[in-house]
Structure 1
């Protein structure tokens, strides 16, 4: 079998040359369009990356300022009030007047905490607990002692006490 002798016919030679030249031209057009499109996308990605970096820096600045303000506010927290509540006074048949007087005595003892820094007060909480729990109080000629049920520290110290027979 042999290849037909198409190289003798000029029409076939022009057709094949046209295919080769058309293929080269279309390849060059494709490369140009692809390059322009890639350059446009690269510029867009670079712009977006710069925007992201700027926003990350802004976020970092805002977070640092927020943390600094929180730290300053935490330092500025001071105790403004002391609340004391005695529970279980009905269990021992103690009247309301005696309960209120006992609550006021505990408030008077803790009055020195008012206008103190909250952090220092929380650090000394064991001392406060011992000062309250080591106290004995007499109701109806019977000695009682306080047991701290809960203690909440904020600008107002809330203390919930239970009575126990001594």
Structure 2
């Protein structure tokens, strides 16, 4: 069998040159398309990685905050301050200076509850009431006794009392 000598004919030579350059151009087009696709995928991958890192940091911060809240919730809540209100100060015509001194004396009498657990103070609220009501407080020339109207126990113990002048 004999291969015909097509390489000598100009029409076949143009065909082979066209196939060669077509293959070369198609090779470059495929390389360009592959590079563009690969670049887009790398860009998408990097944005997804950054979003993932942000989400992990967010989750870590939330877990740390949750642990802090758990630790705070395990600690007992304590009494932080005492507020006293004398409801009938105007009726007894107690001036502001005497009122402040009377409130300071009462707060000084029950100052031991500051820093204690709220549950302990709540359980001993009758003792707290009895401590205030059974004590006479001397301010200047007057002696006052208090009768508790309302006692709220929270981080701030709020006491609403009615004062009486006793002899």
Q: TM-score, normalised by structure 1?
A: 0.51
Task: Note if contact 1:78-1:115 (Cα within 8 Å) is conserved in structure 2.
Answer: yes
State the Cα RMSD in Å.
4.9
Matching residue of 1:67: 66
For the residues of structure 2 that align with 1:129 and 1:22, how far apart are their CA atoms?
103
CA distance in 1: counterparts of 2:36 and 2:115, whole angstroms: 68
| Residue in structure 2 matched with residue 114 of structure 1 by the alignment | 114
- Report the secondary structure of 1:61's partner residue: helix
Structure 2 length normalisation: TM-score? 0.51
Give secondary structure in 2 for the equivalent of 1:147.
Answer: strand
Query: Deviations 1:56-77 (Å, cap 9, x if unpaired)?
Result: 2222122212222233345265
Matched residue count? 141
What is the aligned partner in structure 2 of residue 11 from structure 1? Answer: none
- Identify unmatched segments of 5+ residues in structure 2: 1-13, 137-141
CA distance in 2, matches of 1:95, 1:55: 63
1:146 aligned residue: 149
SS in 1 for 2:78: coil
Q: Counterpart in 2 of 1:56?
A: 55
- Which consecutive residues of structure 1, in runs of 5 or more, have no partner in the other structure? 1-13
- Measured after TM superposition, the shift of residue 42 of structure 1 is 0.8
2:84 paired residue number: 84
**Secondary structure, aligned partner of 1:79:** coil
Deviation of 1:106 after TM superposition, in Å, equals: 6.5
